[in-house]
């Protein structure tokens, strides 16, 4: 595996999408820094990447806290120049409007919108100081574009993230920083999604899902890699991903 003098930082490196992105960029030679609140849960991922010949560095990270985000990105940049930052915190909750407390709304907004602002701003600061350009990418959702029943908190936060990313893209593009927003209009193949399918339709329906009914985390990681490979004369701001059978 050819190594690069560059780092990729993943904010919200969960067990599925975040882990798949880490595997992909590590496999392409990047030093990958991964952060989540429970850093001990990153150890198997980093061991897997190391066994494959890559390098993955785990961090305890609260994506809602300015100091935590700054320290994480500065550590990644000190290891190797920061070239890619992907903001991927999870905050998908479905709560009826009258049961959406102030605490729920605020926490979802902090994870799905504020965390993106903090990671984007600090990534831009470092990349501009380095003078090498780079990529700042945000994981969006169906809720980025439309608000469904029970998603008042999540949809408003994700829509805010999308507009923030768009403003960043306009400001940072001329400075050689590619900002993109990925809309995942799909059920992603995770344990959580499969459990919801079992609860709604039964174990047999979950076991016999048609091929391609759920989007694979590795496919999302490949999309992020493709975005990072684009040249500045044809940058994509927004890409939407969905299985062929998804209604849209």
Identify which has the larger pLDDT, 229 or 244.
229
More confident residue, 210 or 185: 185
Give domain limits for the chain.
Answer: 7-190+217-241
Average pLDDT, the chain: 94
pLDDT in tens, 105-122: 999 999 999 999 999 999
CATH of 7-190+217-241, one of 3.40.50.300, 3.20.20.100, 3.30.43.10, 3.40.50.720: 3.40.50.720
| 241 — pLDDT class (breaks 50, 70, 90) | very high
Answer yes or no: is pLDDT of 199 > 90: no
- Distance (Å, whole) CA 222 – CA 219: 5
Angle at 247 between CA 244 and CA 248, to 5 degrees: 105
Q: Tell me the per-residue pLDDT of 37-95, one tens digit each, with 9 for 90 and over.
A: 999 999 999 999 999 999 999 999 999 999 999 999 999 999 999 999 999 998 888 99
d(CA 212, CA 235): 28
Mean pLDDT, residues 31-36 taken together: 98
Name the percent of the chain lying above pLDDT 90: 83
> In this predicted model, which residue has the larger pLDDT, 203 or 231?
231
Q: How confident is the model at residue 204 (pLDDT cuts 50, 70, 90)?
A: confident
pLDDT at 1: 65
The predicted-structure confidence for 154-195, as pLDDT tens digits, reads as follows 999 999 999 999 999 999 999 999 999 999 998 888 887 888
Cβ burial, residue 97 (10 Å; 0-12/13-18/19+): exposed
> Where residue 246 falls among pLDDT bands split at 50, 70, 90?
confident
């Amino acid at each position: 595996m050819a190594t690069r003098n560059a780092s990729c930082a993943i904010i919200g490196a969960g067990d599925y999408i975040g882990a798949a992105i880490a595997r992909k960029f590590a496999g392409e030679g990047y030093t990958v820094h991964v952060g989540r609140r429970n850093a001990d849960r990153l150890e198997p991922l980093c061991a897997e990447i190391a066994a494959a010949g890559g390098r993955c560095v785990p961090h305890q990270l609260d994506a809602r806290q300015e100091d935590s985000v700054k320290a994480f990105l500065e550590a990644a940049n000190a290891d190797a120049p920061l070239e890619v930052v992907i903001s991927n915190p999870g905050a998908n909750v479905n709560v009826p409007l009258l049961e959406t407390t102030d605490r729920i709304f605020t926490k979802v907004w902090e994870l799905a919108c504020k965390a993106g602002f903090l990671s984007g701003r600090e990534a831009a600061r470092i990349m501009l100081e380095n003078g090498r350009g780079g990529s700042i990418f945000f994981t969006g959702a169906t809720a980025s574009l439309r608000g469904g029943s029970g998603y008042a908190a999540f949809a408003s936060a994700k829509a805010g993230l999308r507009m923030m990313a768009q403003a960043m893209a306009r400001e940072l593009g001329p400075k050689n920083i590619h900002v993109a927003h990925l809309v995942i209009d799909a059920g992603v193949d995770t344990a959580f999604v499969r459990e919801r399918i079992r609860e709604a339709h039964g174990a047999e329906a979950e076991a016999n899902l048609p091929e391609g009914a759920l989007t694979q985390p590795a496919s999302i990681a490949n999309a992020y890699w493709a975005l990072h490979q684009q040249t500045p004369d044809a940058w994509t701001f927004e890409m939407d991903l969905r299985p062929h059978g998804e209604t849209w």
